[in-house]
């Protein structure tokens, strides 16, 4: 039987807790500008979520620069400094294995914006208005 993809509801509490700890560590490193990189120092970066693999050896960090400005440059700078982030996470968490960190852009804000635009469409508003009136 094929393994189902993990959704937030099916992931264990331990994975969620460790992911949240990693998110806090990465956010703190970025906020305090402990990374010596001009691009990262010039931008405010939010770590929106960190998903851990079931064996806690891989961490996928979803990031979003403030206002989405220069996202590709920020991602490149984060990926360039991945070794520094992995070392810091390993030192601060003290897990059995040091997690390999991978940085990806967080697309959830773009998806939410797209849904808002769709819902603001006059045709959709007309249909939603009928539903509200009937209720």
- The mean pLDDT value for 59-77 works out to 87
**pLDDT digit string, tens, across residues 79-103:** 999 999 999 999 998 888 888 999 9
User: Residue 6: what pLDDT?
Assistant: 56
Structure tokens at 132: 């509200």
Reply yes or no on whether the pLDDT at 130 is more than 80.
no
The rounded distance, in Å, linking the Cα atoms of 68 and 135 is 39
Percent with pLDDT over 90 in the chain: 38
Window from 49-53, 67-71, 129-133 with minimum mean pLDDT: 129-133
What tokens does 14 get? 């331990």
Whether residue 3 is predicted with pLDDT greater than 90 in this model: the reply is no
What integer pLDDT is reported at residue 1 of this predicted model? 45
């Amino acid at each position: 039987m094929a393994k189902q993809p993990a959704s937030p509801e099916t992931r264990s509490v331990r994975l969620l807790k460790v992911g949240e700890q990693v998110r806090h560590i990465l956010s703190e490193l970025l906020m305090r500008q402990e990374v010596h990189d001009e691009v990262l120092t010039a931008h405010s970066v939010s770590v929106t979520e960190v998903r851990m693999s079931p064996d806690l050896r891989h961490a996928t960090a979803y990031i979003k620069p403030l206002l989405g400005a220069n996202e590709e440059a920020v991602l490149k700078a984060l990926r360039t400094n991945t070794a520094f982030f992995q070392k810091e996470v390993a030192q601060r968490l003290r897990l059995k294995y040091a997690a390999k960190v991978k940085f990806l852009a967080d697309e959830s804000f773009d998806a939410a914006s797209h849904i808002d635009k769709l819902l603001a469409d006059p045709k959709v508003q007309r249909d939603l208005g009928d539903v509200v009136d009937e209720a």
